[in-house]
Amino acid sequence: MSVKSDQIQSLNYCAHAVEDLRETATMLQHAMPHSASVLYRLISMLQTSVKFILPNCCNLVEPDEVRQAHLDLIRLPFPCVAFEVPWDKEREGPEYIGDFRQSPMTKRIALCWDARQFEPLPGLNSLLDAFEEGGVFVLPIYWGPEHKKWTVALGGAFVPYGCELSSLDLGDAMPASRIANAAKIAVGQSHEKSKQFRSEPFPILPEFYERAIATYGSRAKADAQIILDASDEVMVLIQACSVVNCANVSTSDIEPTASINKKRRASGKQPFFSYKVLELTEERSVHGRGNAGGQHASPRMHLRRGHLRQLERKVVWVRPALINAESTRGIVLKDYGVTPLSTAI
């Protein structure tokens, strides 16, 4: 999807990720059996997750404008959710952040879960036990032009429910957080007055994690890589939950085309999944609900960047006003919806 395109397109990332991860798991069965077992569990989670399509880079909230109100809205709408996000940036990021080489990943899945029934790596639920209110596991799964294959990150981040925003304090941070934050400050991706909130890195692929520890020479540096790799997906969680949990936001369902899935099944491919998209409640009567094919009378657009407004007993999502319909600045199109599904198989 182009950076300039606000029109929702069917992405089908999860279906393609399932196929690639299944191939990788098969290759690793003998050399890295523990990681292969994790991949098979993640495949099952991808298949059963409730899937959302989000706009490019999940550009809903300005990162520097994240407040406690956004963190208070972190609640998954379902026990296991896959947020699909195209990630086309106008400018390339640095080749290195500290000692950590960066590769562009233009297609992202933030796989998120908060229920005990999902434990892709044995022992991972100990993080749920450590926090009374529980929390969300956020795992990046991504595709980039360098390798052209869907890959699971070295690990993810656990974000506790009820976490609080505070000032960044490198001196008081755990070693991995200190390494990661110092590296981001050095390349201008953060600053000393940035805000922070608690999250815990967790490894997901055991053999790869041990290899990373050996390569970096310490567990702290391996965990710092996990923190850096998961930072975008954690922001996806915060932004998506900020919108979906507002009182004036609801969802519409779109379904894959039956004929396309029939062809995919016949050729042994993973069928495409159904998706949810977000829309403002007051505009549902204007646009109506999509039919089974996800078709609408007019193109539906991604919800633009906005902000939260606290009313007496609820929080609502507010967008900037429509300023100039001929300008690319300040335009807010009517809602967050979907265009007809792509016919590509």
Per-block average pLDDT, block size 10, for the chain (345 residues)?
Answer: 53 97 98 98 98 91 82 95 93 79 92 97 96 96 94 97 82 82 80 79 98 97 96 95 89 91 96 91 52 41 70 79 34 31 38
As given in the structure block, the two tokens for residue 235 are 């922001």
As given in the structure block, the two tokens for residue 56 are 């490019």
As given in the structure block, the two tokens for residue 113 are 């879960």
| pLDDT value of position 302 | 56
| pLDDT value of position 96 | 77
List, in sequence order, every residue forming a beta bridge with 280; answer none if it has no partner: 249
| pLDDT value of position 175 | 86
Q: How far is CA 174 from CA 134, 195, 229, 285, in A?
A: 21, 16, 17, 50
Instruction: Indicate the pTM of the whole model.
Output: 0.85
List Cβ neighbours of 142 (8 Å cut-off, separation of 6 or more): 87, 105, 107, 108, 109, 150, 151, 153
Q: How far is CA 277 from CA 46, 174, 200, 238, in A?
A: 17, 38, 29, 16
| pLDDT value of position 304 | 62
As given in the structure block, the two tokens for residue 135 are 């929390």
Asked if residue 155 lies in contact with residue 127, where contact means CB atoms within 8 angstroms, the answer is no
DSSP 236: H
| pLDDT value of position 344 | 42
